[in-house]
C-alpha cells in the first residue's frame, strides 16, 4: 500500500484526496475508530431532517462520557474526553474537551465556518496557494446566505459598533440546504479503485524500523480481529488528543509531544436584533421540534487585527415565536468572541503506561489552566461583546457575556505542533515528524502559534502542504 491515513476528518480526507490528485494511481487506506453514521460516509449530520439526527449523534460520541456537570455539556455528536468534576474550575484541566468518533470526525457535526487567518495570526507555514486549494476541496463559499433585511441591519450595526474593522460575512463550507462535510472533500474517491475507507478500525500503534514507519497494527472494533498493514507512507490525522496518543503508544515521544495545548478563549452572549419593522410570524400549529441551528439565516465575522485581538462570530437567526429561548418576532443573535490563549509548554496532555482509556489506548491526562493575562483577555472580550450586543439590540434573559468552560470551542491545538526546532515542535513545516522519514501528522494539533479564528481552513491548508510531501515520498523523489 502507498498511504495509510489514520483519521477520516476534514484533514485526513484532504490528505487522501490531494495525494490521489497528485499521484492518481496511489493506493490509499483511510481508517477511523468510529462508525459511518451517515450515507454517504462523512456527510454533515445537519443535512439530515431534525428528527433523524439523534441516533447518528449518539453513535458519534463513541465510548466517551456524554454527560457533564454544571455548565459542562458536550456538543452534539461528541463525548467528553474525561468525566466531569463537579467541584473543579471551569477552566482548569479543560473540562469541556470533547471528541467526535465517527467517519468524518468533527466534520460530521461542524458549523462550517472557514475564515482565512488574518495577518496577525498567519504563520509562514501557511501558504496562500495551499489556502486556495483547501477552500476548493472544502467547498468554501464567500456568501452562503442570501441577503435579508435583518442581515443588512446586522452588518451595518456591526460596522457602526466597530469602526475601522473589516466586518463581513463568514466564509463557510457549503451552505443552507447542504452543509459541507468530509463527503464534499472526498467526492467520488470512495468509489474509485485503489481507495478504501474502513470505519470502526482502530490504529493501535505504528511499527518503526530505522527511522521509518514500516506498518501499523490495526484492530476491527466490531470483532476484535487484529492485523498489520504495510505502507510506504503514513499520515496521522487524528484530533489534538488522539494524534499524540497514537505517537506515544508507538514509542514516538519527542520533547514537545502533547505540550503547548491551546484552546481558544470563548466569550459568548445573546441578544435580540432591533429592527424598525420586525417580522410578524403566525403562531405555529405545532411546537417547533428542530434546533436553533436550523433557524440560522446568516453568519458574520470580525477578524483579528492589531486593534482588535479577537475573532468575532455573530450568528443570525430568524426565530419568530419558534425560538428556543424567547417568544419574540425579532431575530436572535449569538455573539462569540474568540481570543488567543497564552501558549505555554506546561499546558499539555500526557499519557499513562499503566491506565487505559475506553478503547484500550494509553489513558490521557490534561494539565491546563489560564494565566492572569488570559483572564484579563477574557474580561476585555466580555466587555467588548457586551458593548456590541447593546448597540445591536436587547439582551435576552440569561444571555449576558460569559467565558465558556475550557474546551467548549472544540478548537484544540498545539499538541503535535509544527515548527523549525525539534526541541519545541513535533513536526517540520511539511508536517513530517522529526526523525521519521515517512510519517506526517495533521489536524488542529499542528497549529502551534497564537490564533483566534476557526482553525479548520488553516489545518486543511497545512494538510495540502503535507500531502505534497507524501506524494514525493510515494514517488521516491
Distance spanning both ends of the chain, measured CA to CA: 17
For 344, counting Cβ atoms within 10 Å of its Cβ (0-12 exposed, 13-18 middle, 19+ buried), the class is middle
A 10 A CB-CB count for 376 gives 11
Percent of residues, the chain, with pLDDT higher than 90 = 79
Cis amide bond preceding 66, omega within 30: no
Rounded CA separation 86/95 (Å) = 10
**Nearest in space to 256 (alpha carbons), one of 470, 402, 121, 434:** 434
**30: β partners:** 5, 197
Q: What predicted TM-score, i.e. pTM, was given to this entire model?
A: 0.95
Helix (H) or strand (E) holding 352: strand 348-356
The distance of Cα 206 from the centroid of its chain, to the nearest Å, equals 25
468: left (phi over 0), alpha (psi -120 to 50) or beta: alpha
Calculate the average pLDDT of the chain.
92
Active site residue 411: yes
- Residues of the chain whose pLDDT is less than 70? 67-71, 84-87, 278-289, 319-327, 477
Decide: 422 and 254 in contact? Cβ < 8 Å: yes
114 contacts 457 by C-beta, under 8 angstroms: yes
For position 286, what pLDDT does the model report?
Answer: 59
Task: Look at residues 95, 414, 466, 72 and name the one whose alpha carbon lies nearest to residue 256.
Answer: 414
119: DSSP letter: G
β-pairing, 362-367 vs 348-356, is antiparallel
Do the strands 439-441 and 233-236 form a parallel or antiparallel pair, or are they unpaired?
A: parallel
Active-site residue, from 46, 109, 264, 411: 411
Contact 414, 343 (CB under 8 A): yes
E strand or H helix at 364:
strand 362-367
Conformation bin of residue 172: beta by default, left when phi > 0, alpha when psi is -120 to 50: beta
Each residue of 281-298: pLDDT tens digit?
A: 555 555 666 777 788 889
> What is the tens place of the pLDDT at every residue in 400-457?
999 999 999 999 999 999 999 999 999 999 999 999 999 999 999 999 999 999 999 9
CATH number of 1-139+180-262+345-369+412-477: 3.50.50.60
pLDDT of residue 457: 97
pLDDT of residue 408: 93
- Residues 175, 296: Cα–Cα separation, whole Å: 11
Contact 138, 10 (CB under 8 A): yes
**Cell numbers describing residue 466:** 503535507
Give me the residues paired with residue 46 across strands. Answer: none
Which strands form 226-230's sheet, in the order they lie side by side? 201-209, 212-220, 226-230
Q: What is the pLDDT of residue 175?
A: 78
**Predicted pLDDT of residue 128:** 92
Amino acid at each position: 500500500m502507498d498511504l495509510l491515513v489514520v483519521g477520516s476528518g476534514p484533514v485526513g480526507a484532504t490528505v487522501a484526496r490531494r495525494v490521489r490528485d497528485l499521484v492518481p494511481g496511489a493506493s490509499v487506506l483511510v481508517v477511523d475508530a468510529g462508525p459511518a453514521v451517515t450515507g454517504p460516509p462523512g456527510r454533515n449530520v445537519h443535512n439530515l431532517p431534525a428528527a433523524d439526527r439523534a441516533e447518528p449523534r449518539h453513535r458519534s460520541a463513541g465510548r466517551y462520557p456524554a454527560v457533564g456537570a454544571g455548565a459542562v455539556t458536550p456538543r452534539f455528536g461528541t463525548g467528553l474526553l474525561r468525566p466531569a468534576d463537579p467541584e473543579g474550575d471551569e477552566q482548569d484541566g479543560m473540562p469541556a474537551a470533547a471528541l467526535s468518533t465517527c467517519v468524518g470526525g468533527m466534520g460530521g457535526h461542524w458549523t462550517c465556518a472557514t475564515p482565512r487567518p488574518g495577518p496577525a495570526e498567519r504563520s509562514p507555514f501557511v501558504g496562500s496557494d495551499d489556502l486556495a486549494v483547501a477552500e476548493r476541496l472544502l467547498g468554501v463559499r464567500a456568501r452562503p446566505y442570501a441577503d435579508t433585511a435583518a442581515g443588512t441591519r446586522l452588518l451595518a450595526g456591526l460596522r457602526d459598533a466597530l469602526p475601522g474593522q473589516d466586518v463581513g460575512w463568514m466564509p463557510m463550507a457549503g451552505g443552507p440546504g447542504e452543509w459541507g462535510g468530509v463527503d464534499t472533500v472526498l467526492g467520488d474517491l470512495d468509489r474509485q479503485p485503489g481507495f478504501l475507507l474502513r470505519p470502526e478500525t482502530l490504529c493501535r500503534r505504528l511499527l518503526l524500523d530505522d527511522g521509518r514507519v514500516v506498518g501499523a497494527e490495526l484492530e476491527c472494533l466490531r470483532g476484535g480481529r487484529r492485523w498489520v498493514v504495510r505502507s510506504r507512507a503514513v499520515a496521522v490525522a487524528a484530533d489534538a488528543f488522539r494524534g499524540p496518543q497514537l505517537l506515544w503508544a508507538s514509542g514516538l515521544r519527542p520533547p514537545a509531544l502533547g505540550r503547548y495545548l491551546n484552546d481558544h478563549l470563548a466569550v459568548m452572549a445573546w441578544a435580540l436584533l432591533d429592527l424598525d419593522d420586525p417580522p410578524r410570524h403566525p403562531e405555529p400549529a405545532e411546537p417547533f421540534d428542530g434546533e436553533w441551528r436550523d433557524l440560522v439565516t446568516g453568519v458574520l465575522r470580525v477578524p483579528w487585527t492589531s486593534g482588535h485581538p479577537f475573532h468575532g462570530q455573530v450568528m443570525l437567526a430568524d426565530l419568530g415565536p419558534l425560538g428556543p429561548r424567547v417568544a419574540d418576532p425579532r431575530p436572535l443573535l449569538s455573539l462569540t468572541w474568540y481570543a488567543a490563549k497564552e501558549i505555554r509548554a506546561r499546558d499539555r496532555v500526557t499519557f499513562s503506561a499503566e491506565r487505559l482509556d475506553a478503547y484500550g489506548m494509553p489513558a490521557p491526562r490534561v494539565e491546563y489552566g489560564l494565566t492572569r493575562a488570559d483572564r484579563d483577555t477574557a474580561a476585555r472580550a466580555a466587555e467588548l461583546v457586551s458593548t456590541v450586543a447593546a448597540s445591536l439590540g436587547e439582551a435576552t434573559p440569561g444571555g449576558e457575556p460569559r467565558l465558556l468552560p475550557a474546551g467548549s470551542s472544540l478548537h484544540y491545538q498545539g499538541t503535535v505542533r509544527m515548527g523549525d526546532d525539534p526541541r519545541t515542535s513535533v513536526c517540520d513545516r511539511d508536517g513530517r515528524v522529526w526523525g521519521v522519514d515517512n510519517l506526517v501528522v495533521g489536524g488542529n494539533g499542528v497549529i502551534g502559534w497564537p490564533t483566534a479564528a476557526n482553525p479548520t481552513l488553516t489545518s486543511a491548508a497545512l494538510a495540502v502542504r503535507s500531502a505534497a510531501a507524501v506524494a514525493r515520498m510515494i514517488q521516491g523523489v
